[in-house]
Amino acid sequence: MSGFDLVAPYYDHVVRIVFGQKINNFNRKILASIAPVKRCMIIGGGSGKILLDAIEMNLASSYCYAELSSKMKKKAKDRLNDRQLQQVTFTADYSETDSRFDLIVLPFVLDCYSESSVHQFLYNLEPILTNHGKLLIIDFNHEPLNDQRPTFIQKQFIRLLYLFFRITSNIEAKKLPRILSILKDSNFTLISRDRLYNGWIVSSVYGSAKNDDVA
Ligand SMILES: C[S@@+](CC[C@H](N)C(=O)[O-])C[C@H]1O[C@@H](n2cnc3c(N)ncnc32)[C@H](O)[C@@H]1O
């Protein structure tokens, strides 16, 4: 049984109780701001709401959906009709691919990892991103962002969240990794950024490490 299998039946309900539709709406807004691509990979998309949104927005011609939890993956498949299913290849491990992608989406997945694993994760993505490919990362953030920073309550909430997921899903991270700082020091180049709840949740689009002409 993979980490998130245990929480898969009620994960979306809990998110809805805590955040309402705010995260779903934020995700949709970000996806809508990205120009359509040929091939898109979504890693750790959970029960597949973000996959369905991407398909309905015609974000890509084809998708690879990499999700470690087989229960989450089953939920994602169940959301799609036969025509939509034909556009998607499902896998558990994102590195088991011979393809390269124009867009790789990481929705609330890097937060499961320690900072050294986030470094490694990003390094592993470089070869499967096309030269002009983009990386979309949506995740919690506790780093100051310009004049904004998460409040004390938000930080305590994140601590609770980690306690919960370490017990139920056996995630590697003991605390939220500094994703923005790691990306800043990486080969990826920031293209655009958006935020929710005064920067507690941040979405960032990065240009491929191999692309010299990103903004
Ligand atoms: C915190 S949940 C987020 C789920 C979903 N993205 C959302 O926002 O509701 C993290 C998800 O990432 C998956 N995951 C973690 N590491 C992964 C990896 N290396 N490859 C694929 N999926 C992964 C977990 O199984 C889990 O479903």
Cα–Cα distance measured from residue 89 to residue 168, given in angstroms and rounded to the nearest whole number:
28
Q: How far is the CA of 37 from the centre of ligand 1 (A)?
A: 22
Q: Are 37 and 62 in contact (CB under 8 A)?
A: no
Tokens of 207: 């240009």
- Residue identified by tokens 């953030």 is 141
Element (H, E) at 141: none
The pLDDT score that the predictor gives to residue 156 is 86
pTM, to two decimals: 0.94
Phi-psi region of 20 (alpha: psi -120 to 50; beta: other; left: phi over 0): left
List the residue whose alpha carbon is closest to atom 12 of ligand 1: 44
Phi-psi region of 180 (alpha: psi -120 to 50; beta: other; left: phi over 0): alpha
Write the pLDDT tens digit of every residue in 106-120: 999 999 999 999 999
Q: How far is the CA of 213 from the centre of ligand 1 (A)?
A: 31
List the residue whose alpha carbon is closest to atom 9 of ligand 1: 46
Low-confidence residues of the chain: pLDDT under 70: 1-2, 209-215
Helix (H, G, I), strand (E, B) or coil at 82: helix
List the residue whose alpha carbon is closest to atom 10 of ligand 1: 109
Tell me the residue type at 208. Answer: S
- Measured N-to-C along each axis, helices 49-56 and 22-32 cross at an angle, to the nearest 10 degrees, of 40
Residues at CB less than 6 angstroms from ligand 1:
3-4, 15, 43-46, 66-69, 72, 94, 107-109, 112
* 208: exposed, middle or buried (Cβ count in 10 Å: 0-12, 13-18, 19+): buried
Cα–Cα distance measured from residue 138 to residue 200, given in angstroms and rounded to the nearest whole number:
11
Q: Are 193 and 132 in contact (CB under 8 A)?
A: no
Q: How far is the CA of 111 from the centre of ligand 1 (A)?
A: 9
Cα–Cα distance measured from residue 4 to residue 67, given in angstroms and rounded to the nearest whole number:
10
The pLDDT score that the predictor gives to residue 146 is 79
Phi and psi, residue 139, nearest 5°: -165, 170
Give the domain ranges of the chain. Answer: 3-207
Write the pLDDT tens digit of every residue in 156-166: 888 888 888 88
Cα–Cα distance measured from residue 45 to residue 200, given in angstroms and rounded to the nearest whole number:
19
List the residue whose alpha carbon is closest to atom 13 of ligand 1: 44
* 166: exposed, middle or buried (Cβ count in 10 Å: 0-12, 13-18, 19+): middle
Q: How far is the CA of 108 from the centre of ligand 1 (A)?
A: 7
Q: Could you tell which of 17, 47, 68 is best to mutate to test the pocket of ligand 1, judged by most ligand atoms within 8 Å of the CB?
A: 68
Domain 3-207: homologous superfamily in CATH: Vaccinia Virus protein VP39 (3.40.50.150)
